[in-house]
């Protein structure tokens, strides 16, 4: 083809329009524990809200198929190669990701964690959805509400290495050790790996192993929905209650059927929005990640970093038959 001046001009202008938005936007990656989770999809929605508001941000939403540290290491290596400006991670392990995130930070990539942390030397800051102690206490209180006479309870968690769930279970144990909860006995902690089928089977295993079980506490949105389904399918409604951290959209049916009376969660959309808002400030250099620093969360408010460079957002909100339908439309 003969290149006339017009062709060349046209080609140039096309190239410029195609390339310029990508040049202007800072690529910020949101790395989740595993893809296909309603909780992280809601966080992604919030991340996109933040990108729209900030204008110069492009979100890369990614994560492994299964919630493993190895999968996340691969993902992070590929993001380093893509020259992203920031990586926001919900970590599958507090320690295993440290070498790869340190490598990213050495190359100038701003690494922060949200939801589930990496230990302090592997990230610039951690944004927690709520205070760990409050979450632990809330989980135990909800279990007591469905087992007011006391009795046996079990925890159905996510993966055995998940930073956030392990901390919350630790906080639960502290509360359970107080005299007020002397009649509640934690008989087992099992792991469904944030996979629906494994969580379902683990819940069924608990019913078999502990015939007097009063409640399954699942501090994971995947586990809590799977356990509630197992209660229904195994005709345990009314004898075993499921509680924990769930999404109203996934739990409304289980509340209606009686397998679940109460559960809690924070707003995952606000969490994703806030994490991107924070990462953007690190990219622009307006936040450094030092203890005592105040960090803006845009429309959500602001938080202050503690000595571990962690900041916690609001209190988890409790759902039951009175409000679950209303929130099921949102997340």
Interaction site with ligand RAM (CB under 6 A) = 33, 37, 39, 90, 115-116, 158, 164, 194, 220-222, 245
Q: Which of 54/264 has CB closer to ligand RAM?
A: 264
Q: Which of 109/265 has CB closer to ligand RAM?
A: 265
Distance, in Å, from the CA atom of 137 to the CA atom of 172, rounded to the nearest integer, reads 6
Q: What does the radius of gyration of the chain's CA atoms come to, in whole angstroms?
A: 22
Q: Which of 35/98 has CB closer to ligand RAM?
A: 35
Q: Which of 220/281 has CB closer to ligand RAM?
A: 220
Q: How far is the CB of 1 from ligand RAM (least distance, A)?
A: 53
Report whether 239 contacts 256 (CB < 8 A): no
Q: How far is the CB of 116 from ligand RAM (least distance, A)?
A: 5
Q: Which of 39/191 has CB closer to ligand RAM?
A: 39
Q: Which of 54/218 has CB closer to ligand RAM?
A: 218
Q: Would you state the structure tokens that stand for residue 201, as one six-digit string?
A: 């089977």
Q: Would you state the structure tokens that stand for residue 180, as one six-digit string?
A: 């007020």
- Among candidate residues 277, 268, 219, 269, the one with its CA nearest the CA of residue 88: 277
Q: Which of 134/237 has CB closer to ligand RAM?
A: 134
Chain CA centroid to CA 45, Å: 13
Q: How far is the CB of 258 from ligand RAM (least distance, A)?
A: 22
Q: How far is the CB of 7 from ligand RAM (least distance, A)?
A: 52
Q: How far is the CB of 67 from ligand RAM (least distance, A)?
A: 7
Q: How far is the CB of 320 from ligand RAM (least distance, A)?
A: 18
Q: How far is the CB of 158 from ligand RAM (least distance, A)?
A: 4
Q: Which of 76/135 has CB closer to ligand RAM?
A: 135
Q: How far is the CB of 265 from ligand RAM (least distance, A)?
A: 6
Q: Phi and psi dihedrals of 91, rounded to 5?
A: -85, 140
Using Cβ positions, the residue closest to ligand RAM within the complex turns out to be 39
């Amino acid at each position: 083809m003969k290149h006339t001046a017009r062709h060349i001009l046209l080609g140039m202008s096309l190239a410029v329009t195609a390339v310029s938005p990508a040049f202007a936007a800072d690529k910020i990656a949101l790395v989740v524990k595993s893809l296909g989770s309603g909780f992280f999809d809601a966080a992604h929605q919030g991340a996109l809200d933040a990108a729209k508001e900030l204008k110069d941000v492009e979100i890369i939403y990614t994560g492994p198929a299964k919630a493993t540290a190895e999968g996340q290491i691969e993902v992070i290596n590929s993001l380093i190669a893509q020259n992203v400006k920031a990586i926001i991670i919900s970590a599958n392990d507090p320690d295993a990701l440290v070498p790869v995130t340190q490598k990213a930070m050495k190359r100038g990539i701003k690494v922060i964690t949200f939801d589930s942390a990496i230990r302090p030397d592997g990230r610039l800051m951690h944004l927690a959805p709520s205070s760990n102690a409050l979450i632990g206490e809330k989980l135990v209180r909800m279990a007591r509400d469905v087992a007011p006479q006391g009795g046996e309870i079990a925890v159905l968690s996510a993966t055995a290495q998940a930073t956030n769930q392990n901390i919350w279970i630790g906080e639960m144990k502290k509360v359970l050790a107080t005299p007020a909860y002397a009649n509640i006995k934690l008989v087992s902690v099992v792991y469904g790996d944030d996979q629906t089928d494994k969580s379902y089977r683990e819940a069924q295993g608990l019913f078999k192993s502990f015939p007097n079980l009063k409640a399954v506490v699942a501090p994971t949105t995947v586990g809590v929905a799977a356990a509630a389904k197992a209660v229904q399918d195994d005709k345990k409604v009314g004898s075993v209650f499921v509680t924990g951290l769930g999404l109203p959209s996934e739990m409304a049916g289980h509340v209606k059927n009686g397998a679940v009376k109460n559960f809690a969660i924070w707003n995952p959309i606000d969490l994703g929005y806030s994490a991107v808002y924070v990462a953007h400030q690190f990219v622009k250099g307006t936040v450094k990640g030092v203890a005592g620093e105040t960090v803006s969360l845009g429309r959500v408010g602001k938080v202050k970093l503690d000595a571990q460079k962690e900041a916690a957002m609001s209190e988890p909100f409790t759902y039951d038959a009175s409000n679950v339908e209303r929130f099921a439309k949102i997340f």
